[in-house]
Chain A
Amino acid sequence: MTQPLSVENVTAHYGTTKVLEDLSLSVAAGELVSLLGASGCGKTTTLRLIAGFLEPTAGRITLGGRDLTRLPAYRRDIGLVFQNYALFPHLSVLDNVAFGLKQRGVGSSERNGKAQAMLERVGLSGLSDRLPGALSGGQKQRVALARALVIEPPLLMFDEPLSNLDAKLRVDMRVEIRQLQRANGTTSVYVTHDQEEAFSISDRVAIMNAGRLMQFDTPENLYQRPANAFVARFVGFENLIAMRVVAREGDQMTAEAAGGTRLELSQARFGDIPDRFVLATRPDGLSVSADPNAPGIPAKLGLRTYLGRAYQYQCETETGRLIANGALSTPLEPGNPARLVPVPDQCCVLDAE
């Protein structure tokens, strides 16, 4: 039982403050989509809207063709995993898991059987009589997961489910969540502020900022082809260099940055480049060269830090401060001049802001 979710032109307010503006998002049946962004970006608001704890001021939410917009939360049939687990402290682990079945009128022996089976699936079969207070964080998380899964909802939603766990457990749990989700084929929405977590488990990721959707794509595309400066910065393109095309010659094109630095770029690699654009690179995409004639941006090297795989330099250039990486074999001293050479594979071209 799996259904597509569609959020259409949804706007939401807290009091008079607009917290979500004209958001549209569609999640295919069986897909896992993450909502990613800093706190206050609207990702949790979106989840609460879908869950029915908040009503949109405009727009529509449908699940498998069923209009959820005005349906009370308890009739939406959505499995939710909360950040703080939200287990019922007065009920045993088994009763927690069986709670949703009980609301659906499932008889006690059947629901205990199903709950027990689900507990086995998440690896907690021995703990059914415990109270949540006696469980560790990871165990609580599994109970929360079992409780949401056992009702076999057409949609599962996770609200920063791993943020209270330690680093090691977080990685294990996210693999487990992905496996369970895949096995059940349940459409899922996953809210997180952790980029690695979102990218590693999602089919697609929606990056949000200030109540708006910035880009909604596969992790690969987001990582390599951010659509705008916000997403570029978010996925680690730390150097954003404003440029202007000065000459086009077949595939080759010459662009100039502030201060007169000129770079040659291939149109075939970057597609149609507008007259004004922003060249974005990660520190890895700017390599530091001591050769004064290298085809790059003239820079004066500043602080050097050791990254293990490379040295990283804070560089002063005519276009501002840039961050570039240099080879471990040739450490350069701060204060020296150098050239920062863009690595085409690791650059992308964005519209001018």
Chain B
Amino acid sequence: MPKRFAGWILAFPATVLVALFLIVPVTLTIATTFGDGSGPVAPYLDFFNSGFRRTVLWRTLEVSLATTAISLLLGFLTAYVVSRAPGRLKSILIIAAVFPLLTGVVVRSFAWLIILGKNGILNNFLTWIGVIGEPLSMLYTEGSVIVAMVYLFTPLMILTLVGVLENIPDDVIQASASLGATPVATFRQVIFPLAVPGLIVGAVLVFTGSFTSYATPQLLGGERQMMMGTLMYQAAMVNFDWVSASTIATIMVVITVSVVLAMTRIAKRLNPMTT
């Protein structure tokens, strides 16, 4: 094969696959929202004029931000412990974090149906110890969706951050101690700042993942706690209103892509280790 084009030839099939089945279809979806005849921004006016849809967008942002914040906290502290664990224990802890990731979203969300249901484990337990008289309805609340999403994304956060924390050389931490920094001071002044780029990557993964999720809000939020994903499915497959489904899709793309771009930019600026 001609040397000059070897790279192109090898990359061609994958490029075509992405172009034909991703770039074109998604562009078409976005394009439909601007050209349905009733004015270029009409579908967006429709969307934002509907109080219900605005609530859904707002709720989705709220749930995603809460999920991101909580899993950042859980993930970072846990990852710190894991990264400092002795060899054997460390690999066990890493595998224990990988295992939930092998199990799908549906199964893991379903687990919380068993836990949070009217006759679920948590209600049974709370009734048994006498904290509550009768079962609480915990399902189909924003809280239940957030709990399940945190459960879903924390392993991902742990694994991302363990990688980042392990990249901080031991001798930098020892240098800090030798200069008189207490463990807490070392954590705040050395470890945390060095982990910020990783925290941003983790936050982006979790935020975009929860913002565009479907199965978890569907199972644990139901009709009452609709989010962008479930709203879009309903528009497309229940109401067969493809223009509004496309509008929701476009809003999702715009929000996730801008978050990704903004955060990678911040991460780049914050990361002094690139040189």
* Residues of chain A at the chain B interface (Cβ within 8 Å): 51-53, 72-80, 82-84, 86-90, 99-100, 102-104, 131, 133-134, 147-148, 151
Bound-state Cα–Cα, A103 to B178, Å: 11
Closest CB of chain B to A35's CB: distance in Å?
17
Quick check: B181 and A88 within 8 Å, CB to CB?
Answer: no
**Are A73 and B177 touching (Cβ within 8 A)?**
yes
A82 touches B171 (CB 8 A): yes
CA of A147 to CA of B174, assembled, Å? 13
A99 x B179 contact (CB < 8 A): yes
Residues of A within 8 A of B51 (CB): none
- 8 Å CB contact of A84 from B169, B180, B189: B169
Instruction: Name A97's closest neighbour in chain B (CB-CB).
Output: B179
| Binary CB contact string for chain B from 180 to 191 against chain A (1 if under 8 A, 0 otherwise) | 111101100110
Contact B174 A51 (CB under 8 A): yes
List of B residues within 8 angstroms of A83 by Cβ:
171
Choice from A51, A72, A82, A89 contacting B272 with Cβ under 8 Å: A89
**Distance in angstroms between the alpha carbons of A127 and B256 in the assembled complex:** 40
A86 touches B172 (CB 8 A): yes
- Chain B positions 202 through 226: 1 when the CB is less than 8 Å from some CB of chain A, otherwise 0: 0000000000000000000000000
Nearest residue (CB) in A for B273 is A89
Given the complex, which residues of A lie within 8 Å of B179, measured CB to CB?
74, 99-100, 103, 147-148, 151
Given contacts A82-B171, A84-B169, A133-B273, contact A73 B178 (CB under 8 A): yes
**Given A86-B169, A88-B190, A80-B273 contact (CB < 8 Å):** no
5 contacts between A and B (CB under 8 A): A72-B177, A73-B174, A84-B169, A88-B172, A90-B190
Q: How far is the CA of A4 from the CA of B275 in the complex (A)?
A: 41
Residue of A nearest to B186 (CB): A74
Give complex CA distance A281, B186 in Å.
52
**Neighbouring B residues of A148 by C-beta, 8 Å:** 178-179
Using Cβ atoms and an 8 Å threshold, which residues of chain B touch A134? 275
Interchain CB contact (< 8 A) of A88 among B175, B177, B180, B183: B175
Whether B272 pairs with A90 at a CB distance below 8 angstroms is yes
Q: Give chain A residues whose Cβ lies under 8 Å from the Cβ of B272.
A: 89-90, 131, 133
- Interface residues in B216-251 (C-beta closer than 8 Å to A): none
Residues of A within 8 A of B175 (CB): 80, 82, 86-88, 147
Give CA–CA (A100, B175) in the complex, Å: 10
Q: How many interface contacts (CB-CB < 8 Å) are there between A and B? A: 80
B38 within 8 A of A: no
Cα of A100 to Cα of B189 in the assembled complex, Å: 12
B97 CB to nearest chain A CB (Å): 26
How far in angstroms is the closest Cβ of chain B from A130? 10
How distant is A127 from chain B, measured CB to nearest CB, in Å? 14
Q: Specify which of A74, A79, A89 is in contact with B183 (CB 8 Å cutoff).
A: A74
**Contacting A74 at CB < 8 Å: which of B172, B180, B273?**
B180
CB atoms of A88 and B176 under 8 A apart: yes
A180 to B171, CA, bound (A): 23
Q: Indicate whether B27 reaches chain A with its CB closer than 8 angstroms.
A: no
- Using A86-B174, A133-B273, A133-B274 as known contacts, say yes or no to A100 and B169 having CB atoms under 8 A apart: no
Is B194 an interface residue, CB under 8 A from the partner?
A: yes
| B193 interface hit (Cβ, 8 Å) | yes
Are A52 and B180 in contact (CB-based, < 8 A)?
A: no
Residue of A nearest to B171 (CB): A86
Beta-carbon contact of A100 and B275 below 8 Å: no
Check A74 against B171 for contact (C-beta < 8 Å). Answer: no
Q: Are A74 and B181 in contact (CB under 8 A)?
A: yes
Whether the Cβ atoms of B182 and A74 lie closer than 8 Å is yes
For B192, the closest partner residue in chain A by CB is A90
Chain A, residue nearest B178 (CB): A80
Q: A89-B273, A133-B274, A133-B275 are in contact. Are A78 and B178 (CB under 8 A)?
A: yes
Partner of B275, one of A51, A73, A131: A131
* A52 and B172 in contact, given A103-B185, A133-B275 (Cβ under 8 angstroms): no
**CA gap between A133 and B172 in the complex, in Å:** 14
* Given contact pairs A87-B172, A90-B273, A99-B176, a sample of 14 additional A-B residue pairs in the complex whose CB atoms are under 8 Å apart: A52-B177, A53-B174, A73-B177, A78-B178, A82-B174, A82-B175, A89-B172, A89-B194, A90-B190, A102-B189, A103-B179, A103-B180, A133-B275, A147-B175
Nearest-CB distance from A51 to chain B (Å)?
6
Residues of B near A75 (CB, < 8 A) are: 180
